[in-house]
Structure 1
Amino acid sequence: MKTGHVELARAQQERWQTAYTQHPHLHGSEPSAAAQWAAEAFGAAGIDDVLELGAGQGRDAFFLARQGFSVHATDFSEAALDQVRLEAQREGLDDRVTAALHDVRDPLPPADATVNAVFANLLLNMAFSRAELRSLVAEIRRVLCPGGLFVYAVWSADDPCSPTAMSSSNQAQHWKQLGEGLSMHDGFVGRFFDDSLITELADGWRLDETTSYDEGPRPHRMRRVALAKES
């Protein structure tokens, strides 16, 4: 299977659409650790507006909005974004949180150098080929203003669930390897990031931060990365 094919992208979009429809709080309501860190980094840089990619049902978008940021949340699931819009109205945050349907395999809508910060939690480790990841990161760099920040968090290759870390018996039971570093579990396709990929995607950026940490009830080993577009 060639992971960049439209068929894989469409299947994953349908899988996530179903998951968000069936589980209105799929990832809970508490903000991610990455969003909490990003709020401090963005605030320290004097940034007040954020483009969030792969926002899902909005737990991080709402957290950032409560911290005073204006957030433009995007996702490729209309079901998730409908929930974001409804919750924004309920919480009186619709002046700070906007939501738009967008697949990041397509060029980002903003014009060149018009965005101050981009945030993405658990997006880059989804079903993208390495070429698609490089294209996405290049698009993010294009839309960022000089000095703008890009903060993302992904599963680490050191995570116990990573195919490279699991025993062969567990791997055979839970993961189907698809090639190009992608694996499938329970219908979801993902990638675990190692140092080489983080370094590859940081080419042309100033790498300000890369930190490992654990998160979740059955903790995943995560990597948080902060990149700056140099002036």
Structure 2
Amino acid sequence: MQSVLDAQQNHWETMFGKNSEMFGLEASYPAYYATALFHEKGVSSLLELGAGQGRDTLFFAHNGLHVSALDYTQKGLDAIANRAKNLNLSLSLCQHDVRKPLPFEDASFDACFSHMLYCMPLSTADLEFLNGEICRILKPGGYNIYTVRHMEDSHYKQGIHRGEEMYEMGGFIVHFFSSEKVQSLTKGFELIHVEKFEEGGLPRKLFCVTLKKM
């Protein structure tokens, strides 16, 4: 099973290599929501996890945030770097597997953002570890905003079952969340807000979760 999950890196590298605008260029709804909240709360330094090809990364940087972006794939980071250069935007990029400790000191960031990273092929143990790492690198009172596909999504229980609530379709493994799982991943945080929203032509059905470090 672990080898199946590990192979996702190569799959994403291949897909990003084939399509430089796989998720489009327009920032996501959660990025607009997060930016408004960050400006209201005086957030300056932001860590984005699972940056993909940078549609949200560049939006954050354009709106005055100091962005450090991590992704599993080098092709995604190369795409972000090229677009940032063309737009004259400054940001920090790093290839990283979020199942390993985040490469930052304690209390380094005001906020963390990730769009659909939590529904990648990460086990519950992986997610608990990641949440602990995010809590560690956030300053007291820092925000963690993440999105994840939930069990009302039409792809839930479709394709090949890959353990827990993970299913593989078209080569992609998705971890679907229940409300209970959202509640379980709050150690060290206050759960501020959970919003349901839809994205894409299917459409994908997601939670947008806002946590605040206690």
Global fold match (TM > 0.5) = yes
Partner of 1:65: 61
Correspondent of 1:218 among 190, 202, 207: 202
Cα distance in 1, alignment partners of residues 162 and 203 from structure 2: 24
Partner of 1:148: 142
Contact 1:85 1:98 in 2 (8 A): no
Q: How does 1:1-231 map to 2 (within 5 A)?
A: 1=1, 5=2, 7-93=3-89, 95=90, 97-163=91-157, 171=158, 175-230=159-214
For residues 149-175 of structure 1, the C-alpha deviation after alignment (integer angstroms, 9 at most, x for no partner) is 000011111112211xxxxxxx3xxx1
For residues 22-78 of structure 1, the C-alpha deviation after alignment (integer angstroms, 9 at most, x for no partner) is 100010001111111100111111011210000010000011111111111110100
May I ask how many residue pairs the two structures share in their alignment?
214
TM-score by length of 1: 0.90
Give 3-state SS (helix, strand or coil) of 1:119's partner.
Answer: strand
Cα distance in 2, alignment partners of residues 222 and 9 from structure 1: 22
CA RMSD of aligned residues (A): 1.0
Q: CA deviation at 1:226?
A: 0.4
Give 3-state SS (helix, strand or coil) of 1:37's partner.
Answer: helix
TM-score by length of 2: 0.97
Task: Output the amino acid matched with 1:218.
Answer: L
Task: Output the amino acid matched with 2:4.
Answer: L
Deviates more, 1:215-224 or 1:23-32: 215-224
Q: CA deviation at 1:228?
A: 0.5
Cα distance in 2, alignment partners of residues 76 and 68 from structure 1: 25
User: Could you list the runs of 4 or more consecutive aligned residues of structure 1 that deviate by over 3 angstroms after TM superposition?
Assistant: none
In structure 2, stretches of 5+ residues that fail to align are none
Cα distance in 2, alignment partners of residues 121 and 128 from structure 1: 14
Contact 1:150 1:226 in 2 (8 A): yes
Give 3-state SS (helix, strand or coil) of 2:7's partner.
Answer: helix
- Report the identity percentage: 36
Give 3-state SS (helix, strand or coil) of 1:179's partner.
Answer: coil
